[in-house]
Amino acid sequence: MVINTGWCCEKMKAEIEMVGRAPTPFLYNQYFREYSIFIPKTNSVFHISFCPMCGKMLPESLRHEWYSILRTMFHLNPNDRDDRARIPEEFLTDEWWNKRNL
């Protein structure tokens, strides 16, 4: 289940929450707070800054902050297989950025 309380509109909420239950191109990564659209036949994603349904600006991605905190505070390289296994649980959900009011 996707956890997010700050949906820009009901249409986006419905699309994102359908992931895994029905085909939808919309993705939400809760630990990066990042919205994307899946591109069929390429197996890649396109990160979006505006809601395609209502046009509102989406929250800024926290991808850089996620990597920075893990590297500086925990001395982990998230790209390293051994370090990846040691990432604190809170960084695998939206808990880390909610805790820090980001």
72 pLDDT band (50/70/90 cuts)? very high
| pTM for the whole structure | 0.79
Residue 27, pLDDT score: 86
Q: Has residue 1 got a pLDDT over 50?
A: no
Tens digit of each residue's pLDDT (9 = 90 or more) over 5-53 = 567 888 888 888 776 666 778 888 988 999 999 888 888 999 999 999 8
For residue 13, give both structure tokens: 């909420």
Cβ burial, residue 26 (10 Å; 0-12/13-18/19+):
buried
Tokens 């604190």 correspond to: 88
DSSP state of 14: H
Q: How far is CA 34 from CA 8, 73, 75, 81, 86, in A?
A: 13, 22, 24, 23, 22
For residue 30, give both structure tokens: 């809760």
